[in-house]
Structure 1
Amino acid sequence: MSTASTLTIGVLALQGDVREHRAMLEQCGVRTIGVRRPAELAQVDGLVIPGGESTTIGKLAGIFELLEPIRAALRAGLPAYGTCAGMIMLADGIEGGTAGQETFGGIDMVVRRNGFGRQVDSFEATVEFAPTWADHFDYPATFIRAPYVEKVGGAAEVAATVSGPGGDRIVAVRQGRLLATSFHPEITGDTRIHELFVELVRHA
């Protein structure tokens, strides 16, 4: 079993909070690299897919010849964590997406793109992060033009919800070695969710 200090976790470096994710992961004691090419993907024990714009991430992944290699790596068991647009990229289905929008897939869920509205509708909320594989805790979550999960299949586990005018919305899901959140833990200074992902990678 690998220790945290021997792990290398990649951050998909096409768009989004790449530096912030790398800084949080390095606080957790792991080595990080930016992933822009298949050769870099081949070096990592786990992959973080940051926020940004999901249609742009899909297009850039195709341009940088990463779309199929990442799909294949996920099918082969590479642990991955997607935040905001990264959650959309890990979804098997999208509501409100563009025609022909590409994702990596891997989690049996349908995600509503921009489910919480536009940039001006960004908000903060304390969510109860309640996975079955770790201690429950309250987390100060920041939602920025965030998606939410419409539904999950039997293989996926709901790890957190948030209450709002439309009722409770699913904002964190885990399926095996894959984790996804609607919110942006990389900008909070609170490393607990990154630590959970590092543990998933370490035990992979």
Structure 2
Amino acid sequence: MKVGLLALQGAIGPHADALRELGAVPVEVRTPAQLADVDALIIPGGESTTISKLLDTSGLAQPLRDRLAAGLPTFGTCAGMIVLARTVLDGRADQNSYDAIDITVRRNAFGRQVDSFEADLAVDGLDAPLHAVFIRAPFVEQVGDGVDVLAAVDGHPVLCRQGAVLVSAFHPELTADRRLHELFLTLV
């Protein structure tokens, strides 16, 4: 199974390590041809407006929209959650969102970099808490029909799934716990 890692901005190395540990083949995606050749995609954390602009300048914006509309299994972490959302609050006017999951997400909802934190989350479907690293993290303000909220912090959804799209407000790749990457691979 080839899992693309959107390699325009953000740390992809830890995601690649997690995929290799689980037997998947990570593939860096920077061009439409590379996107066309993967079975699934991870959009990593980073800066969502920068990722949005780089999708435009790389020629990936429309091919990504097309693949998402065709059901490409996709996992967005932190900024990736923002990119995949239907609606983005506190974003730039020129920031694209890709409407792959019916959520309204608020950028930097938990505060600035100095407000970053870690927490143990109860996740629907997992038998033990998941340690999560939140860095300038978003959270979900509203979920649409068909969206499953798998975990929340202080009543705010931070892990959601709709069909073959999984999004997290945190960085699961920064821990040794591979259960979310494993869950994503079951969606492929």
TM-score band, normalised by shorter chain: over 0.9
User: Where do residues 71-86 of structure 1 align in structure 2 (5 Å cutoff)?
Assistant: 71-86=65-80
Between the two proteins, the alignment pairs up a number of residues equal to 188
Query: Which letter does structure 2 place at the counterpart of 1:182?
Result: A
Query: Which letter does structure 2 place at the counterpart of 1:51?
Result: G
User: Where do residues 86-125 of structure 1 align in structure 2 (5 Å cutoff)?
Assistant: 86-125=80-119
Question: Cα distance, 1:30 vs. partner?
Answer: 0.5
Structure 1 gaps of 5+ residues are: 1-6
Question: Cα distance, 1:169 vs. partner?
Answer: 1.1
SS of the residue corresponding to residue 122 of structure 2 reads: strand
Structure 2 gaps of 5+ residues are: none
1:52 match: 46
- Superposed CA offset, 1:156-179 (max 9, x none): 11111012xxxx111011000000
1:25 match: 19
Question: Cα distance, 1:103 vs. partner?
Answer: 1.7
Instruction: Give distance in 2, aligned partners of 1:86 and 1:135.
Output: 22
SS of the residue corresponding to residue 129 of structure 1 reads: coil
1:14 match: 8
User: Where do residues 177-192 of structure 1 align in structure 2 (5 Å cutoff)?
Assistant: 177-192=164-179
Is structure 2 residue 137 aligned with structure 1 residue 146?
Answer: yes
TM-score, with structure 1 as normaliser: 0.90
Instruction: Give distance in 1, aligned partners of 2:58 and 2:162.
Output: 27
TM-score, with structure 2 as normaliser: 0.98
Is structure 2 residue 179 aligned with structure 1 residue 195?
Answer: no
Percent identity between matched residues is 51
Instruction: Give distance in 1, aligned partners of 2:127 and 2:65.
Output: 31
C-alpha contact (below 8 Å) 1:141/1:185 kept by paired residues: yes
Instruction: Give distance in 2, aligned partners of 1:105 and 1:23.
Output: 28
SS of the residue corresponding to residue 198 of structure 1 reads: helix
How much is the aligned-residue C-alpha RMSD, in angstroms?
0.9
Question: Cα distance, 1:37 vs. partner?
Answer: 0.3
C-alpha contact (below 8 Å) 1:174/1:180 kept by paired residues: yes
Query: Which letter does structure 1 place at the counterpart of 2:165?
Result: L
Question: Cα distance, 1:136 vs. partner?
Answer: 4.3
The one of 118, 133, 146 equivalent to 1:155 is 146
SS of the residue corresponding to residue 177 of structure 2 reads: coil
SS of the residue corresponding to residue 179 of structure 1 reads: strand
1:3 match: none
Q: Which ranges of 4 or more aligned residues in structure 1 deviate by more than 6 Å?
A: none
SS of the residue corresponding to residue 137 of structure 1 reads: coil
- Superposed CA offset, 1:73-95 (max 9, x none): 01101100000000001100011
SS of the residue corresponding to residue 105 of structure 2 reads: strand
